Amino acid sequence: MGDVTTPDDTRPGADRILTIPNLLSFVRLLGIPVFLYLILVVHADGWALAILFLSGFTDWADGKLARLLDQASRLGALLDPMVDRLYIVTTLIALVARDVIPWWIAAILIGRELVLAPTLAVYRRRGMPPPAVLYLGKGATFLLMCALPLLLLDLAVPTTSAVAHPLGWAALIWGSALYVWTGLLYLGQAVWIARAVSPNEGQPAE
């Protein structure tokens, strides 16, 4: 799933909340508890898979619409990748609960998010925007968001296992490796900023 590029904070309209891309992101957010109910409570795996595919399509659509309609906003730049990560985390938890993937893979990927979350405070204290999204990170997210539906497809439609199972695991392994690597890059960038930029003035420290 693609991330929306952080807009210029000084550009007119950057503070907008009620935009079509943001509406789509909110719809995706509301789909998370529905997804969890379908896969964990009633085991309606086909419908859960449909929710996951719909989320992927609307994520692609909100990024395109933000550019086509010139509706990029600060909220969208934060909300879109946040919802992406929530879908990754909730799907990982659900697949672990259903014994599709081992718990330690989910722990590594979720741990990456827990380690990086506090680094945002480093940028906020210095009056700086969050770090630009790495294309390698986008690739990792894309692989994971391909892997998880494929593994769910393997669970929901056993006749697809011959294709969905190996492709899903290949994407999960490569996506996980890239996800951890880009996490280390983001962490290193935050450490450098913490050392090089003054927390109060947002300027290079003397």
Contact 113, 86 (CB under 8 A): no
DSSP-derived 3-state class of residue 45: helix
Instruction: Give the Cα separation of 126 and 201 in Å (integer).
Output: 7
Domain 20-196 classification at class level:
mainly alpha
d(CA 90, CA 98): 12
Could you read off the pLDDT of 53-92 as tens digits, one per residue? 888 787 777 677 777 777 677 776 777 778 888 888 899 9
Q: If you search the block for the tokens 């420290």, which residue do you land on?
A: 205
Cα distance between residue 91 and residue 39, in whole Å: 9
Side chain identity, residue 29 = L
**Tens digit of pLDDT for each residue in 24-58?**
888 888 999 999 999 999 999 999 999 988 887 87
Three-class DSSP labels, 112-175: HHHHHCCHHHHHHHCCCCCCCCCHHHHHHHHHHHHHHHHHHHHHHCHHHHHHHHHHHHHHHHHH
The better pLDDT of the pair 163, 18 is held by: 163
Rounded to two decimals, the pTM is: 0.75
Task: Tell me the pLDDT tens digit for each residue of 154-200.
Answer: 999 999 999 999 999 999 999 999 999 999 999 999 999 988 888 76
Domains in the chain: boundaries: 20-196
**Helix 74-97 vs helix 103-116: angle between axes, to the nearest 10 degrees?**
160
